[in-house]
Structure 1
């Protein structure tokens, strides 16, 4: 079973540095990094729980209006591993999901690409030191009722940590830590869509799931 995921995390931060609120920041328009993630999921209706380890290579390009998420997803519950590459092309209004280099699903997306900024409705929880970089911590409650808590570096507004808790009936708790975050796109080929994707019929009855929508519109929206 493929546990599809696009992005989340936890703020386990100590050492209060400054509790004075400051205006939300904006990060670079082009950046790459690695998100190390743990996802726990519980389906209340089915009474089924699962756990997964996820490593995601992220490339965010607001100039080209594209996002690439290259994920290695290990479902601990079933001991199954999948490679999932999700490419968002906002100019073409299409999302491509390539699983294990064999299966490609193209789905339409609407709206504009979210900017790389802390949303205006985020609550600033304080400024902290995590044994090195100083970070600002924020909290957002999404329209769907999910709670997102995240940190960004004080100087450059790079992503640090995130946590996401959805409200059910499928409950997701995802924690993530970002590593090796750098400005720019050193390898633009990560946005290349495989040729066989263009020969697949696009799904026209696609509706964003709660988890996908809130991740897109809440987590990525502040970067």
Structure 2
């Protein structure tokens, strides 16, 4: 069995104005961080389950309309490892997926990049203290049907924790912790596209309010 990895995690980004209240906030327009995740999948039709560890370095640049996701994926079930670097260039309407540093697919994308804000569809569940840091916790259902529960730091609105559940017939549950979230882009080279990337004229429409859903759609289409 091959894990059809649909890496899921939310960076809490969607279209919403900056609201100075418990109902929403906006983070920095440029930030970097690391998402540490545990992900389980169950395919009801095939009656197959799998488990994976994921580590993703995130570069989010709303100023230049780019997102970089450098992922290391360890499939615990079949003991395999894979690295994938996904670069979204919303100005050029292109997403590049580079696998293991030597294989690249470029696809056309539609839609605009969303600012780094809490979606107005999210429900505020309260403000809590998590062993020191104070966070706001929200719950939402994404346009693709995933149920997300996430927390952001009080004041800065940086991502802290999250859980994401997608419904069948393929069920995914991902639990994430964000680390080393800092303002700005320290290494702009993460957005550099390799020269061996080619362009495949495939229209891929995504309507997403979260990086979680964006990545999920990307990897499902890549593995088919």
Task: Give CA-to-partner distance per residue, 1:68-123, whole Å, 9 cap, x none.
Answer: 00000000011000010000000001110000011101111111001100001100
TM-score, L = length of structure 1: 0.85
1:4 aligns with 2:5: yes
Q: Which residue of 1 aligns with 2:64?
A: 64
Q: Which residue of 2 aligns with 1:45?
A: 45
Q: Note closer, same or farther for the CA distance 1:148–1:90 as it changes in structure 2 (3 Å cut).
A: same
CA-CA distance at 1:145 after TM superposition = 2.5
Instruction: Verify the 8 A CA contact 1:137 1:149 in the aligned structure 2.
Output: yes
Q: Find the residue that maps to 1:190 and give its secondary structure.
A: helix
Runs of 4+ in 1 over 6 A off after TM superposition: none
Q: Which residue of 1 aligns with 2:145?
A: 145
> Distance between the aligned counterparts of 1:3 and 1:55, measured in 2?
16
1:100 aligns with 2:100: yes
Q: Find the residue that maps to 1:216 and give its secondary structure.
A: helix
Please list every run of 5 or more consecutive structure 2 residues that lacks an aligned counterpart in the other structure: 11-20, 217-224
Q: Which residue of 2 aligns with 1:202?
A: 200
TM-score, L = length of structure 2: 0.85
Q: 1:50-199, aligned counterparts within 5 Å?
A: 50-197=50-197
Q: 1:7-18, aligned counterparts within 5 Å?
A: 7-8=8-9
> Distance between the aligned counterparts of 1:123 and 1:161, measured in 2?
16
Q: Note closer, same or farther for the CA distance 1:190–1:83 as it changes in structure 2 (3 Å cut).
A: same
CA-CA distance at 1:162 after TM superposition = 1.0
Q: Note closer, same or farther for the CA distance 1:209–1:76 as it changes in structure 2 (3 Å cut).
A: farther
Instruction: Verify the 8 A CA contact 1:135 1:152 in the aligned structure 2.
Output: yes
Q: Note closer, same or farther for the CA distance 1:43–1:208 as it changes in structure 2 (3 Å cut).
A: farther
Count of residues in correspondence between the two structures: 204
> Distance between the aligned counterparts of 1:103 and 1:142, measured in 2?
31
Q: Note closer, same or farther for the CA distance 1:54–1:97 as it changes in structure 2 (3 Å cut).
A: same
CA-CA distance at 1:216 after TM superposition = 2.8
> Distance between the aligned counterparts of 1:66 and 1:29, measured in 2?
11
CA-CA distance at 1:38 after TM superposition = 0.8
Q: Cα RMSD (Å) of the superposition? A: 2.3
> Distance between the aligned counterparts of 1:184 and 1:88, measured in 2?
17
Q: Find the residue that maps to 2:63 and give its secondary structure.
A: coil
